Amino acid sequence: MKIKKERLMKFFSEQLLTISTLAGVVLGVIFGLILRASSSSKWSSREIMYFNFLGELFLRMLKGLILPLVISSLIAAIGTLNFKATGRIGGRAITYYLITTFMAVILGIILVLTVRPGIDRHKKNSTESVHTTSSQLRTITTTDAMLDLVRNMFPPNIIQACIEQYQTVLKPPSANASNDNIDEWNIGHTYGNGMNIIGLVVSACVFGIAMSTLHGSVNTVLGIVTEVSALMMKITSWVIFVSPIGIFFLTVSQVAEMDDLNVVAGKLGLYLITVIGGIVFHGFVILPIIYYAFTRKNPYTFIMGMGPAIVTAFGTGSSSATLPMTIQCIEERNKVNPQISRFMLPIGATINMDGTALYEAVAAIFIAQLRGIELSFGKVVAVSITSTAAAIGAAGIPQAGLVTLVMVLDAVGLPPEDVSLILAVDWILDRVRTVVNVLGDCLGAGIVDHMSQKDLIVPPINPQENAANASASGSYEIVTVPATKET
């Protein structure tokens, strides 16, 4: 009995952070519902802004960590690997990303074609609201979106990449010309929409590779980035400490401001269930099976370890903002080697989005069903390819998937305005897909970590661990971080 109690206490103390962040969400929902019930009219945006203030501060802190943490960690991780090992680990990571993303898309397509949420079962309901309010969506083609992604990988100005990114802009040739043939539209570009994370990630990788090929002759720089990365991890742990409060306020304001949930009845409700069911099945059944198949370790213990990051992904709807927490949790709680986690997670947060991929496929086919468009096999294949591309191209920020959905709609001949058909429930789906986007990155890092043990011949890049390890064994001959080893 006593042993059981002790075990229970141990479990609770280990999971305290997960439990408190989860409590942040649950209490946030309850408090948000109380707020809704306590006012007969809708809360004004100013009032919502006040409710959200502490949540906003939390989000700002997380976002502030991204740049210094990602850059320093990536350079330090790759800089301490040898070139061949980087290639092998990178190859495994990309293979995992592509295969799992495509599996998510296929699952989504099978589900939406089986459940058929957009098909009229009772003809009399056929006038379901179809708003085609003009949204602020850009018209982009799949090719342009992919080319933009590649362009952004090579930022001409690294400072600019910290603030903005390149976007192709298409404009109709003249106001009264026919807008049907997009090939005749004028091509321009603009810079905007936040930090160019993919550009920074690629630049940091190149920097790290250059460092590793110079074999020890740039140890001062490597020592500096390694120490900056350790500092950023320390600051991250402080932010994690306040995460339950931040998550609580983010949830309260979201629940207080959301539209009435009765719009979720009917087809939209079925669509919601299809997407959530698919995403949850992919994230909590398929990916864990893959993890188990490669590592023979319990995937759910691993997922429990990622608890705070998963709840934060749900609370913020942003893989990028969650990144500092993801890195911290995977290293501290799941003991994944920092060389793998700091290499794979920033890349994964920008390109590996299983939840988004599944959602894109289901959403496009659902809209086609609503519009009564029969999709040929060829079109379904086009949806699967463009959904994968759209998920890779989506940024790790709230509702980025909704923007890249335009590409998938384009593939089945639907106008961009049709995204308004699913707008009402997108914020919920965004949070759920962000959870699985983050989870997919983590399980992938766990798998690659397991497979890459032989490639990781240098000690961990955490300076404190280095010092401890070095003094414990006295035997790290190939240490490439002298600044920290000397301590």
Interacting residues with ligand ASP (CB under 6 A): 317-319, 353, 356, 394, 396-401, 430, 433-434, 437
What is the Cα–Cα distance from 70 to 75, expressed in whole angstroms?
8
Residue closer to ligand ASP by CB (options 207, 314) is 314
Residue closer to ligand ASP by CB (options 222, 397) is 397
* Beta carbon of residue 349, minimum distance to ligand ASP (angstroms, whole number): 7
* Beta carbon of residue 400, minimum distance to ligand ASP (angstroms, whole number): 4
* Beta carbon of residue 419, minimum distance to ligand ASP (angstroms, whole number): 12
* Beta carbon of residue 430, minimum distance to ligand ASP (angstroms, whole number): 5
Q: Which one-letter amino acid corresponds to residue 422? A: I
* Beta carbon of residue 399, minimum distance to ligand ASP (angstroms, whole number): 5
Residue closer to ligand ASP by CB (options 346, 396) is 396
Residue closer to ligand ASP by CB (options 135, 295) is 135
Residue closer to ligand ASP by CB (options 251, 356) is 356
* Beta carbon of residue 357, minimum distance to ligand ASP (angstroms, whole number): 9
Residue closer to ligand ASP by CB (options 387, 484) is 387
Residue closer to ligand ASP by CB (options 204, 429) is 429
* Beta carbon of residue 394, minimum distance to ligand ASP (angstroms, whole number): 5
Residue closer to ligand ASP by CB (options 328, 466) is 328
* Beta carbon of residue 248, minimum distance to ligand ASP (angstroms, whole number): 20
Query: What's the per-residue H, E or C state across the chain?
Result: CHHHHHHHHHHHHHCHHHHHHHHHHHHHHHHHHHHHHCCCCCCCHHHHHHHHHHHHHHHHHHHHHHHHHHHHHHHHHHHCCCHHHHHHHHHHHHHHHHHHHHHHHHHHHHHHHHHCCCCCCCHHHCCCCCCCCCCCCCCCCHHHHHHHHHHHHCCCCHHHHCCCEEEEEEECCCCCCCCCCHHHCEEEEEEECCCCHHHHHHHHHHHHHHHHHCCCCCHHHHHHHHHHHHHHHHHHHHHHHCHHHHHHHHHHHHHHHCCCHHHHCHHHHHHHHHHHHHHHHHHHHHHHHHHHHHHCCCHHHHHHHCHHHHHHHHHHCCHHHHHHHHHHHHHHCCCCCHHHHHHHHHHHHHHCCHHHHHHHHHHHHHHHHHCCCCCCHHHHHHHHHHHHHHHHHCCCCCCHHHHHHHHHHHHCCCCHHHHHHCHHHHHHHHHHHHHHHHHHHHHHHHHHHHHCHHHCCCCCCCHHHHHHHHHHHCCCCCCCCHHHHCC
342 within 8 A of 77, measured Cβ to Cβ: yes
Residue closer to ligand ASP by CB (options 195, 353) is 353
From 245, 437, 402, select the one nearest 326 (Cα to Cα).
437
Residue closer to ligand ASP by CB (options 203, 319) is 319
Residue 244's Cβ-side half-sphere holds a number of Cα atoms within 13 Å equal to 14
* Beta carbon of residue 51, minimum distance to ligand ASP (angstroms, whole number): 21
Residue closer to ligand ASP by CB (options 219, 356) is 356
* Beta carbon of residue 318, minimum distance to ligand ASP (angstroms, whole number): 4
* Beta carbon of residue 437, minimum distance to ligand ASP (angstroms, whole number): 4
What is the Cα–Cα distance from 99 to 97, expressed in whole angstroms?
6
Residue nearest to ligand ASP (CB): 401
